[in-house]
Structure 1
Amino acid sequence: MGRPTGTRWGWGRASAVAVTAVCLAYAPIAMTELWPYARPGAPAVGEWLLGRSVSPEFVAEAVRDRTGPYGRSLAPLIVHSVLGGLLMLLGPVQLLSAVRRRVRLHRIAGTVFAATVYASMAGAALYLVRTPPAEAFSGAAFWIVLATILAGTVGSLTFGVLAAVRGLPDLHQRWLLLCYGFLMTAPLLRLEWGVLPSLYPGLDLRDINRVAIMHLGALVSFGALLASRALDRRAAVPGLTGTWCPLPVRVAARLAGAAGLVWLTVAFLDGGTAGRRLLLAYLVPYAVTYAVIAVRAARAGARGADWAREEWSLHLTALCLAPAFSAATVPVLERTLGLDRATALVAGVGIGCGMLAYAAVTVVSLRILYAREVLRRRRESADPAADPAKDEDALEEARG
């Protein structure tokens, strides 16, 4: 996988710099965020900034709403937040060491990163287990989204570690980028705390969080996809032929997605002003993400980059299915957790795009593994036309 050149590499560098800046800025915020809950009056960078970007009253409201839910699990939450700040520093180290081929540094930092993720997520898991969804900070919908992010973070990290152990750098890269995308929901949510009150004056923190979770999962998984495609410039993957997204699959996914979008739109519009606000927060990022992926898939096909087109197409199909998944999830959440329709609707939409992006990375991984299996069988075949030396070279190329 070579380094991109030209305008795309320029955009890639700008994005890497922006993500690094956000991570470095958020690290001290994360590490000090829960200090005031343990010792009232303790300094907290995030509270100080939020009080000046929004208002002291907004900060006081945020602290009041979190004091009760956090009080029951303060120690594990402090571990979670402090280690989360450390992860914000380790992430850019991982990315830069991988891009610059600093193998030893990458492995050492990667080991520390993995151990820190598991420990940090253990703290978050204790909070979620000890806190009933209805009593959680910002309510049951927020609890469900947090639990889904936690599962996605741990799962993607685990698959990434297994891929590294098996010598599959392209899969390792995709899973770890998705893992870090899920971690980025924390700083992005804080940014929305500072921006959304100016767009929706008068909303309390619970409603601000509801607006934010309408699109955070879609944004971070989309960012992970863009980063994966920027780092993987292969036009083809050895052993990969055909497509797992033929026309009937694409048509069926779009029809299901359209039906899901119609159902969600009607359900949100029944919620009056608040419903329209949430629908807008979902549809605009969704439409932009859909358009970008569709254009990239078409351009990849036009220039004959079969592998790029396949990966874009798999993710586009998953994105199309996300509204249908969310619509189907709403009645399940109502019946299993006893949620009202509005809460179940917010939770279902909040987890839809992130879960389908996770499914897309899983299918992409299976696609690559299947291509390698084709090469292996060809190598072991008694077919006299097969050239083992060429297959060995192809396998090495497929490994990156």
Structure 2
Amino acid sequence: MDRLRNVAWRRVATIAVVGVCVGYAPVAMTGLWPYAHHGAPAFGEWILSRAVSPRYVADALATRIGPYGRSLAAMIVHSVLGGALMLLGPIQLLSAVRRRIRLHRAVGVVFALTVYVSMAGAALYLVRTAPDDAFSGAAFWIDLSTILVGTVLSVTFGILAAVRRFPDLHQRWLLLCYGFLMTAPLLRLEWGALPWIWPGLAMTDINRIAIMHLGSVVAFGALVASRAMDRRRTAPGVTGTWVPRPVLAAAHLAGAAALVWIATSYLGWGAEGRRLLLGYLVPYGATYAVMLIGLRRAGRDGRSWAREEWRLHLAALCLAPVFSASVALPFERYLGLDRQTALSAGVAIGCGVLAFAATAVVGLRVVNGRARIGREGPAVAHRAGRAASPLG
């Protein structure tokens, strides 16, 4: 029964992701057309105007004419290719699950090249746009820049992992890369959904709330997808843990202290601060709960590799508030941001940066395990048995 339930859950999740990607592709591809030709169709604006109100959309996009106009060609390249990535991603996922190796490799080359060119267009826009001129302000500019770097590095590390014949690491890096790309459709969904919770807020205010948790949501989604596709009980050469209980306890204490400081800061900024704090804490708490449950179930079932991966990511999640609080001061001092904007920028990027770091540590664990097998000879490899296959 549990097996059937897991299969059904994976199928529903896959259908939902594919549906969002395919549905968002035309929205992304046409999003910048009205800035190039007045009156050109833009499906995203049309849908959002009817989901919320035409005034809600018009007031937000009126401020984009100047910033987009300075980098319109680059932005059109970025948006059109971003829509293409929404279509290529599901093909990559399904071809990997169904082991269509030739198709997976061919589409993978196209996917990687498309990521690089699309992100080059985004980079050109960010370079030409002052942080304060970004949509909803400097915190969003910093968030976009971090997503760009994370996307490019993730696909690059995924390519390197494939070349070095680490299929499990290749899988993780590409899922994280696609998670970063999924921030675009998820943000649009929140533009339409959050006004039902906070009616009357401008889209810029809604955007500030959304970026408080997008990093944790997409990084968590990539982790869940990785765990669903990797059904090994053990990983070759990997024994013990790199996060013993004292270290995990210390991470919890440090994270709790940082969360208290962040919460105290936001509560002192009135209604807007309370909204931002709620937008951060609710998804963060849900992510923490699911990770903790995954860790305990893996330990109870004797799945040591799953337990270690959950443990590494849980420690990273605990340290995310510490990172957010730590970078707020440099943002305030060296970028000239006010305290609230600096802290919001730190919170917006914290979970994504730490999830990237956790994925890197998972990679080091796998590489170290393979090196251990090489040092200790074929006996260790023989004991690893079928655990060498990342898909079970």
Which category describes the TM-score, using the shorter chain as reference length?
over 0.9
1:364-383 equivalences under 5 Å are 364-379=362-377
Q: Secondary structure at the match of 1:324?
A: helix
For residues 34-91 of structure 1, the C-alpha deviation after alignment (integer angstroms, 9 at most, x for no partner) is 0001111101111111111111101111220211211110100000000000000000
Pick from 257, 266, 269 the counterpart of residue 268 of structure 1.
266
Q: Which runs of 5+ in 2 are unaligned?
A: none
- The 3-state SS of whatever aligns with 2:233 is coil
CA distance in 2, matches of 1:369, 1:388: 15
The CA deviation string for residues 116-167 of structure 1, in whole angstroms up to 9 with x for no partner, is 0000000000000111111222210000000000000001000001001111
* Residue aligned with 1:243, SS: coil
Counterpart position of 1:175: 173
Which residue of the other structure, out of 295, 298, 305, is the alignment partner of 1:297? 295
Alignment partner of 1:50: what SS? Answer: helix
Which position in structure 1 is the counterpart of 2:341? 343
The whole-number CA distance in structure 2 between the counterparts of 1:91 and 1:288 is: 26
CA–CA separation in structure 2 for the residues paired with 1:57 and 1:392: 61
* Residue matched to 1:390: 382
Tell me which moved more, 7-16 or 111-120. 7-16
| C-alpha distance 365-262 of structure 1, shift in aligned 2 (>3 A) | same
The correspondence of residues 1-400 of structure 1 with structure 2, limited to 5 A, is 5-379=3-377, 387=379, 390=382, 396-397=388-389
Query: Would the aligned equivalents of 1:169 and 1:399 in 2 still touch at CA under 8 Å?
Result: no
Report the 3-state secondary structure (helix = DSSP H, G, I; strand = E; otherwise coil) of the residue aligned with 1:364. helix
**1:271-315 deviation line (CA, Å, top 9, x unaligned):** 100000100010000000000000110010011110010000000
- Contact persistence 2:232–2:387 (CA under 8 A): no
In the alignment, the residues of structure 2 paired with residue 311 and residue 30 of structure 1 have an alpha-carbon distance, to the nearest angstrom, of 34
**Alignment CA distance shift 1:123-1:155 (3 Å):** same
**Which amino acid in 1 is paired with 2:164?**
R
Cα gap change, 1:222 to 1:399, in 2 (>3 Å):
closer
Structure 2 Cα separation of the partners of residues 336 and 109 of structure 1: 42
TM-score (norm: length of structure 1): 0.95
Matched-pair contact (CA < 8 Å) for 1:375–1:395: no
Structure 1 residues without counterparts, runs of 5 or longer: 380-385
Instruction: Describe the SS at the equivalent of 1:137.
Output: coil
Q: CA deviation at 1:362?
A: 0.4
Kindly tell me: are residues 388 and 180 of structure 1, through their superposed partners in 2, closer, same or farther at Cα, counting changes over 3 Å? closer
Amino acid at match of 1:296: G
Give the partner amino acid of 2:329.
Answer: P
What is the alpha-carbon distance in structure 1 between the residues aligned to residue 385 and residue 140 of structure 2?
49
Cα drift, residue 390 of structure 1: 2.6
Q: Which residue identity is paired with 1:276? A: R
Are residues 399 and 9 of structure 1, via their aligned partners in 2, closer, same or farther at CA, if it must alter by over 3 Å?
closer
**How many equivalent residue pairs?**
391
Contact 1:167 1:399 in 2 (8 A): no
Measure, in 1, the Cα distance between the counterparts of 2:387 and 2:301: 24
Percent of aligned pairs sharing the same letter: 65
User: 1:69–1:137: 8 Å Cα contact kept in structure 2?
Assistant: no
- Change over 3 Å in CA distance of 1:210–1:12 after alignment to 2: same
In the aligned structure 2, how far is the partner of 1:366 from the partner of 1:115? 26
2:315 counterpart letter in structure 1: T
Query: CA deviation digits over 1:234-277, x for unaligned, max 9?
Result: 00012111100101110110011001000000010011000001
Contact 2:230 2:391 in 1 (8 A): no
- Find the aligned partners of 1:157 and 1:223 in 2 and give their Cα distance: 17
**SS at structure 2 position matched to 1:292:** helix
Give the partner amino acid of 1:244. W
Distance 1:223 1:281 in 2: 17
Q: What is the CA distance between 1:396 and its match in structure 2?
A: 4.9
Report how far residue 9 of structure 1 moved.
Answer: 1.7
**Are 1:311 and 1:364, in contact at CA under 8 Å, matched by a contact in 2?**
yes
Which amino acid in 1 is paired with 2:125? Y
In 1, the alpha carbon distance for the partners of 2:198 and 2:391 equals 49
Distance 1:223 1:9 in 2: 17
Shift of residue 387, structure 1, vs aligned partner: 3.5
Decide whether the 8 Å contact of 1:238 with 1:394 is kept in 2.
no
How far apart in 2 are the matches of 1:399 and 1:45?
A: 38
Q: Does structure 2 conserve the Cα–Cα contact (< 8 Å) formed by 1:243 and 1:310?
A: yes
What code does the residue aligned with 1:245 have?
V
3-state SS in 1 of match to 2:64:
helix
| Displacement after TM superposition at 1:393 (Å) | 5.9
Amino acid corresponding to residue 306 of structure 1 in structure 2? S
Which AA in structure 1 matches 2:15? V
Pairwise CA RMSD of aligned residues? 1.6
What's the offset of the Cα at 1:332? 1.1
Q: Distance in 1 between matches of 2:63 and 2:12?
A: 37
